[in-house]
């Protein structure tokens, strides 16, 4: 697990938010309030907004859809087993998408 993440779910979300930030779509920072993860996310042209994990995942999912990226959140309890399942499902969707793209060519 990469520091400062406490769960695979948080790390997976953070990695995707990093990708979105590298693409210039958002800016974000990470913090904890007690035991809860908080994500301060600034979308282009908007004020920074504080999100909990679930809301940040919903925002990430919207960006995935609008940018045609395949990304799925890790379900509760957000451990390594759920991350592996999510990555396998994501890979399967990427293969399906690639197959559909090839058959449309």
For 36, the token pair is: 């809860």
pLDDT at 97: 80
pLDDT at 54: 96
pLDDT at 105: 65
The domain ranges of the chain are 8-103
- Sequence-distant (6+) residues with CB within 8 A of 37 are 6, 10, 30, 31, 52, 53
Q: Would you write out the chain's pLDDT as a tens digit for each of its 105 residues? A: 677 789 999 999 999 999 999 999 999 999 999 989 999 999 999 999 999 999 999 999 999 999 999 999 999 999 999 999 999 999 999 998 887 777 776
- Sequence-distant (6+) residues with CB within 8 A of 51 are 38, 39, 40, 41, 59
pLDDT at 1: 67
pLDDT at 87: 97
């Amino acid at each position: 697990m990469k520091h400062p993440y406490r769960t695979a779910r948080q790390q997976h979300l953070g990695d995707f938010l990093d990708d979105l930030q590298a693409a210039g779509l958002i800016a974000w920072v990470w913090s904890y309030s007690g035991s809860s993860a908080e994500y301060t996310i600034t979308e282009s042209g908007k004020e920074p907004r504080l999100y909990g994990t679930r809301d940040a995942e919903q925002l990430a999912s919207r960006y995935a859809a609008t940018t045609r990226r395949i990304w799925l959140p890790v379900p509760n309890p957000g451990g390594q087993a759920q991350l592996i399942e999510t990555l396998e499902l994501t890979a399967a969707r990427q293969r399906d998408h690639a197959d559909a793209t090839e058959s449309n060519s």
